[in-house]
Amino acid sequence: MDDLIVKTITRLIVPFIQLYGIYIVLHGHLSPGGGFSGGAILGASMILFTLSFGLEEAKKKVPHRISMLVETGGILWYIGVGMIGFISVGVLWGNKIAGFDLGEPGRLLSAGMIPLLTLAIGAKVASTMITLFHTVIEEDE
């Protein structure tokens, strides 16, 4: 697709969509949202970019290797955070019991491991959406 209006609007709007997605992921323990919804917003922003700029440009922004690394890294990070509790006290994904500092409820740095897990889920959902879309689009060309 080679349309000036679509490309300009996409270039303007994609950073704001991604900022909103990152905000949703990082505030997963404070406000409605979390890893799945924030990751879906991040993935949707890259799908919009692919639709308006074409697959080659999008492949330059998010190479296949990087999205695969983020994907496998996300799930390993998720399991690794759970293993901290398993090794220290024998409870998988233990939060307070495994020594995570809960902090003061309502602050950004609080709730122990919940922001870490939300980050892993967000990265995983975003990279899954991007990889799925790029793979299916690739097949069409």
Partner 1 sequence: MSKLLTILVLAGLFVILVGSILRMPSLGSIDNPSYNETTTYYLEHAVEETGSLNVIAAIITDYRAFDTLGETTVLFTSIAAVISVLKSKSKGGH
> x/- binding map, residues 33-72, to partner 1, per CB under 8 A?
xxx-----------------------------------x-
CB of 13 to partner 1, least distance (A): 26
Tokens, residue 60: 């330059």
CB 51 within 8 A of CB 31: no
Q: Cα dist. 68→44, 100, 113 in Å?
A: 17, 29, 24
Closest CA to 50 of 121, 135, 117, 112: 135
- Nearer to partner 1 by C-beta: 18 or 110? 110
The residues binding partner 1 (CB under 8 A) are 28-35, 71, 74-75, 78-79, 82, 92-93, 95-96, 102-106, 110-114, 117-118, 120-121, 124-125, 128, 131-132, 135-136, 138-139
